[in-house]
A = this chain, B = another copy of it.
Amino acid sequence: MDDPKQYVVKPYLVTRRLQPENQETPIQFIENDIIHNSLFYRRNHFSYPKLTYSNYFLPINGLVTTPLLLSMQNILQLPSKTLEVVLECSGNKRSLFEPKVFGEQWEKGAISQGVWKGVPLVTLLEFSGIMEGAKEVVVEGYDVGIRTDLDKSFSYTRSLPLEKALHPDTIIAYKFNNQPLSFKHGFPFRLIVPQWYGMASVKWIKQISVIGSHFTGPFQDTDYMYYPNQNNDNDAHPVSTMNVNTTIQKPLDMARLNSGKHVIKGIAWTGKGYIKKVEISTDNGSTWSNAKVREPISGYKWACWSYEWSAAEKGIYTIKSKATDSYGQTQPIKPYWNRKGYGYNAIDQIKVKIE
C-alpha cells in the first residue's frame, strides 16, 4: 500500500459518445505544449475499422500519369518532414452556441497538438504525376459505415483542392510525438492538413485519387458545411481553414479564488497566419490588456499565453480572452451561428468569484 502510484492524480479524456468513440481533451488541465497520445481528442464517424496490415498497400490513382501501389515500406523510405501541428475539430465548442445546436456537445477540448512526422503528399503525387485537368485530391479512409440520414454505407472520404494537396506541409503522417502513429489516430497513415479543421486530416488512409471535378460525398457536401439558416440551405459554404481562437485554461470557470495575484493562462491559435496578440479583459470586456504570448510566431502550433492579474477586491469577475492573427482576423463577440455548429470562435470567457 505504499505504492507511490496510488497518489498519482491525472486528467482523462472526456467522453461525449462511445459508439463511435468521441472523446475530448481535458484542455483546462493540460500543462504541456504537446498532448500525450492518450489525451489527444478522439473524433470518429464510424466504429474503428478492422485492418489487416500484412497486405497493406496504398493505391494512388485517378488523373495520374503512373498509378501507384505503395507498400508501407515504400512510403517509410521516402524523405520525411516533421511538423508541429494543432488539430481542431470543427465542432469544438459547439455546446456554446445559442440557440443550441444538436449533435456532439463538444466543450472546449476538441483540440490537440503534437509532432507529426510523415511524407509530403506532394512527394507521392510527383511520383505518380498529375494529369492535366486535375482539380482535387480525394483521400479515402478505411473507416466505413451506414449513414442513417442517407440509409446507405459510406467510407469517410474527403477531398482537398489541388493547391492545398500540393502544399509541402500537407503530409501523410506515420509518427506522432516520435512514436508510431497509434491505431486510434489512423495507423498506418493519416493525412495531416495544417491550418484546416480536423475533418480534413483523414485517418487510416485507404486510397488517394486525383479527380477532375468537385468531389461530392456526405462528409464533403452535407456535413462540414456552414448552414447559416435554421430552415434552409441558402448560403451554405464549406468548412476549411480554422478560425482565430483562444481558450482560457486557468482559472477554471466558476472557480472561487482568494483575493491576490492570479495567473490567467490559455492557448491561442489560428488557421492562416500566426497569432499576433492576445488581449485579456477582467472587467467583462470594458478594458483590455495584452497577455504575454510565449511561443514563437511561426509554424502550426498554438501559442501559449499568460496574464498576471491582481484581484484586489472581492466580487464576481467575468474574464475574457481575444486573439488577433497576422491577417488582422480577430474573435467576434458573438459566434457565427450555423445549423450544424461549426467553427465557433467567439471571444472566450469564464467567471470567477474572488472571496
The B-contacting residues of A in range 136-172, CB under 8 angstroms, are 148-149
Please give the distance in Å from A282's CB to the nearest CB on chain B.
Answer: 16
Q: CB-CB contacts of A14-33 with B at 8 A, as 1s and 0s?
A: 11011101010010110000
Contact (Cβ within 8 A) A9 B2: no
Residues of B within 8 A of A7 (CB): 48, 183
A14–B256 Cα gap in the complex (Å)?
Answer: 20
A322–B110 alpha-carbon span in the complex (Å): 33
User: Residue on B with the closest CB to A28?
Assistant: B15
A14 to B353 CA separation, bound complex (whole angstroms): 23
Partner of A29, one of B15, B26, B183, B355: B15
With both beta carbons as reference points, the residue of chain B lying nearest to A26 in the complex is identified as: B15
Number of copies: 2
> Smallest distance from the beta carbon of A67 to chain B beta carbons, Å?
27
CB distance from A101 to the nearest CB of B (A): 8
Q: Which chain B residues lie closer than 8 Å to A184 at the CB level?
A: 6
Contact (Cβ within 8 A) A254 B103:
yes
Contact B103 A1 (CB under 8 A): no
Q: A9-B19, A15-B26, A252-B17 are in contact. Are A2 and B53 (CB under 8 A)?
A: yes
Query: A56's closest neighbor in chain B, by CB?
Result: B1
A12 to B42, CA, bound (A): 13
Do residues A183 and B1 form an inter-chain contact, with CB atoms below 8 A?
Answer: yes
Number of contact residues on A: which range applies? 35 or more
Take A48-B7, A258-B148 as given contacts and tell me if A14 and B12 are in contact as well, using a CB distance cutoff of 8 Å: yes
Q: Answer whether A183 and B6 are a contact pair too, CB < 8 Å, given A1-B53, A105-B254.
A: yes
> Distance in Å from the Cβ of A8 to the closest Cβ of chain B?
10
Assembled-state Cα–Cα distance A6/B181 (Å): 12
What's the nearest-Cβ distance from chain B to residue A339, in Å? 11
User: Given the complex of chains A and B, what is the CA–CA distance between A52 and B182 in angstroms?
Assistant: 40
In the assembled complex, A46 has its CB within 8 A of some CB on chain B: no
Tell me whether chain A's interface is mostly helix, strand or loop, or mixed.
loop
Given contacts A7-B48, A184-B6, contact A256 B12 (CB under 8 A): no
A183 to B1, CA, bound (A): 8
Q: Within 8 Å of chain B (Cβ to Cβ): is A255? A: yes
Residue of B nearest to A21 (CB): B9
Interface residue A13 (Cβ < 8 Å from any Cβ of B): yes
Residue of B nearest to A353 (CB): B102
Residues on B with C-beta less than 8 A from A53 are 1-2
Check if A57 is an interface residue, CB within 8 A of chain B: no
Q: State the CA gap A316–B102 with chains docked (Å).
A: 9
A355 contacts which chain B residues (CB < 8 A)?
Answer: 149
Does any Cβ of B come within 8 Å of A100's Cβ? yes
Q: Please name 21 pairs of A and B residues whose Cβ atoms are closer than 8 Å in the assembled complex, sorted by A.
A: A1-B51, A1-B53, A1-B187, A1-B188, A6-B182, A7-B48, A9-B21, A9-B48, A11-B15, A12-B15, A12-B23, A14-B14, A14-B15, A18-B29, A95-B254, A101-B254, A102-B254, A102-B255, A102-B351, A105-B254, A149-B355
Which 10 residue pairs across A and B have the least CB separation, nearest first?
A12-B12, A6-B183, A11-B15, A102-B353, A9-B21, A102-B256, A105-B254, A15-B26, A102-B254, A7-B48
